[in-house]
Amino acid sequence: MFKKLSLTGILLLIILGPVVLIKVLQIKSLISMSKSGSGMPPTAVATFVAVAQEWEETVTAIGSLQAVQGITLAAELGGTVVEIAVENGARVAKDDVVVRLDTSVEQAQLAAAEANLRLAQLQLDRSKTLLDQATISQSEFDTADASAKASAAQVANIRALIAKKTLRAPFAGRVGIRTVNLGQSLSAGTAVIPLQSLDPIFIDFNLPQQRLANVSAGQQVRVTIDGIAAPFVGKITAINPEVDPVTRNVRVQGTLENPGEKLRPGMFAEVAVVQPIKRQVVAVPATAVLYAPFGDSVYVVEEKDGKTIARQQFVRLAGARGDFVAIADGIVAGARVVSAGAFKLQNGASVTPNDAMQPDASLTPTPKNT
């Protein structure tokens, strides 16, 4: 039995031994080629020549849009709604009638007051004639004069009450959705309809006190709104003279033109205050940078011993803008770096540049899905 097992083992060793030896040699050869980079076919990559660019400096913040003028029209006096002169969402000019309340009682009172005024005026005219003829005393004339003035004041008071029951737009703008209906009885102070002036419009935002030295009235602001592709450009028009003692922030206000009324009060906005001084940087596409905990790097394409190789170069980054990344240290403008396919490379790997693979890069990208 033992002899049969030994014979079987010898036969297996004779048959499988060469196969195992060949595989071991192949693996060692592949490992050796991988370490040296020799014998491996060149890897196709896209390349990009690092360029010197001029980047604007910005101070960023989060802001909110506010109407230059915005109110909710309310009833100054109580009354019944007899006319709604505008449609919801309509544009109105200054002094346009928006809502009228019932003034029938005041109109009747006005008619009586005007009659009393005419009588008082006639009595005053007669008293003046009699005073000139020395028929009445000065005190009697003064009484007639005071009565006429009181009647005139009464007429003016009733006319003012009637005017207060006619709600007019105090400025040009766009009304919102009314909250009252015809025939509804209102009390003093009841909200009737919002009115907003939308062009121009304010952008309000806060900056920390250490940024106060970087902003001034007249500086350009660029405002980005979610859902609107193109940014809006305006300028700083006011800076609060005091810093909030709790947050240590200062409130800044900019003004934007809004002819199409795409911007509405209350919208969330990203604000960038453009600085007058621009920064010189060496820029490469973001796809060229390999990020790692031990350091960021790029692959620089070089010619060595008649071959094109990729050398790993550690770099220090200095911010990003659009599809580009600024390199503060590690490479200079004119260096050729791998911009696509870098994840497949090892230091010293042989490469074949194929720039047709190069993705488009822009400082202001506009993805198609937006």
> Which residues are paired to 365 by β-bridges?
none
93 and 126 assigned to the same domain: no
Check residue 291 and report its DSSP letter. Answer: P
Residue 36 has pLDDT above 70, yes or no: no
Q: Looking at the structure, do residues 149 and 184 belong to the same domain, yes or no?
A: no
Q: Is residue 254 part of a domain?
A: yes
The DSSP call for residue 290 is B
d(CA 140, CA 136): 6
Please name the residue that has the structure tokens 């008071």: 157
Q: What global pTM score does this model have?
A: 0.65
Residue whose token pair is 């209906």: 181
pLDDT at 252: 92
Report if residue 321 sits inside a domain.
no
Q: Is pLDDT above 80 for 246?
A: yes
Looking at the structure, tell me whether residues 210 and 274 fall in a common domain.
Answer: yes
Residue-wise pLDDT for 49-64, tens only, equals: 888 888 888 888 899 9
310 in any annotated domain? no
- 183 shares a domain with 85: yes
Q: What is the largest CA-CA distance in the chain?
A: 166
Span 62-90, pLDDT tens digits: 999 999 988 888 888 888 888 888 888 88
- The chain-wide mean pLDDT, for the chain, equals 83
**pLDDT band at 1, cuts 50/70/90?**
low
User: How far apart are alpha carbons 330 and 337 in whole angstroms?
Assistant: 12
In angstroms, the CA 334 to CA 48 distance is 9
Domain count for the chain? 3
Beta bridge partners of 352: 44
d(CA 282, CA 334): 9
Residues 56, 59: Cα–Cα separation, whole Å? 10
For residues 204 and 183, state if they share a domain.
no
Question: Which domain-ending residue is among 256, 278, 300?
Answer: 278
Residues 274 and 205 in one domain: yes
Domain that holds residue 95: 77-99+168-189
pLDDT of residue 49: 87
Indicate whether 216 and 262 sit together in one domain. Answer: yes
For range 235-245, the mean pLDDT: 91
Q: Are residues 220 and 120 in the same domain?
A: no
d(CA 273, CA 234): 10
> Both tokens of residue 194?
């919002």
The dihedral built from the CA positions of residue 38, 42, 46 and 47, taken in this order, carries a sign that is positive
**13's tokens:** 């060793």
Question: Tokens in use for 258?
Answer: 């809004």
Is 47 in contact with 301 (CB distance < 8 Å)? yes
pLDDT (0 to 100) of residue 46: 84
> Domain for residue 227, yes or no?
yes
What are residue 72's DSSP bridge partners?
194
Question: Rounded to an integer, what distance in angstroms lies between the CA atom of residue 238 and that of residue 117?
Answer: 52
DSSP for residue 356: G
Residue 5 confidence class, pLDDT cut points 50, 70, 90 = low
Helices (H), 100-137: 104-132
Mean of pLDDT values over 181-193: 87
d(CA 62, CA 215): 15
* Whether pLDDT at 35 is above 70: no
* Position 63 in a domain: yes
Indicate whether 130 and 143 sit together in one domain.
yes
SS3 of 13, please? helix
Within this chain, do residues 267 and 219 fall inside the same structural domain, yes or no?
Answer: yes
- Per-residue pLDDT reduced to its tens digit, 135-170: 777 877 778 788 888 888 988 888 888 888 888 888
Write the pLDDT tens digit of every residue in 269-327.
999 888 888 888 888 888 888 888 888 888 888 888 888 888 888 988 888 887 888 88
The pLDDT, as a whole number, for residue 364 is 64
- What pLDDT, on the 0 to 100 scale, is given for residue 54? 82
